[in-house]
Amino acid sequence: MSVIPCADLMVMQLLRALEVPAVMLGLALGSLLLDLSVASPLGDSTATTEFSCNFGMAKGEAHQSCSVPVPKGCVVAHFPGTTRPWSNISKGGVTTCRFNDKDTDWKTRITGTCGRCASEHCSARFGVMFDCSQRK
């Protein structure tokens, strides 16, 4: 029971009055977000697909590496407007990670490597974008 007489009725009337504008706002925002989520290639870019490799390490583990698979008929995509391979490295924990220059030719072999893990746990993910538009 409410302390203010008729407060429950007032709250219900207020909620009903706000119901239609809230639904309309939700529909408008939903259609805007759907519109923003439609991705299209920029300029002369082509559609890409990503392949990656991942691993975890325990504290004190000296080093670890993994190979990103190169899909048959695909080539490494370049960051739009550059000749740089479209790749990324994500890591967690205290370690240093990079693509291994000696074991990576960006055509048939792509190897990511991390140094010693200095925290309780470390993890790494090496991702590479590929252009498979010429695939037969």
Q: What pLDDT digit, counting tens, does each position of 62-75 carry?
A: 999 999 999 999 99
DSSP letters, 70-121, are: --TT-EE-B-TTSSSB-EEEEEESS--EEE-STT--SSS--EEEE----SSE
Task: Supply the range of the domain harboring residue 106.
Answer: 49-131
Q: Is the same domain home to 10 and 68?
A: no
pTM, rounded to two decimals: 0.66
Comparing 13-22, 71-80, 98-107, the range with the smallest average pLDDT is 13-22
Higher local confidence (pLDDT), 31 or 83: 83
Number of structural domains found in the chain: 2
Instruction: Please state, as a whole number, how many other Cβ atoms lie within 10 Å of the Cβ of residue 48.
Output: 17
Concatenating the DSSP letter of every residue in 2-42 gives -SSTTHHHHHHHHHHHHHHHHHHHHHHHHHHHHHHH-----
Query: Is there a single domain that holds both residue 53 and residue 33?
Result: no
Strand partners, 57: 122
Same domain, 34 and 53: no
Same domain as 74, residue 19: no
Residue 124 has pLDDT above 80, yes or no: yes
Give pLDDT, residue 3. Answer: 60
Regarding whether 24 and 91 lie in a shared domain, the answer is: no
- The pLDDT score that the predictor gives to residue 114 is 97
With 0-12 / 13-18 / 19 or more C-beta atoms within 10 angstroms meaning exposed / middle / buried, residue 121 is middle
Indicate whether 28 and 64 sit together in one domain: no
**Judgement on whether residues 17 and 77 belong to the same structural domain of the protein:** no
Q: Are residues 72 and 124 in the same domain?
A: yes
Share of the chain above pLDDT 90, in %: 60
Please check whether residues 126 and 81 belong to one and the same domain: yes
Instruction: Confirm whether 136 is domain-assigned.
Output: no
Q: Is residue 34 part of a domain?
A: yes
| Residue 79, both tokens | 């960051």
> How sure is the predictor about 42, in pLDDT bands with cuts at 50, 70 and 90?
very low
43 within some domain: no
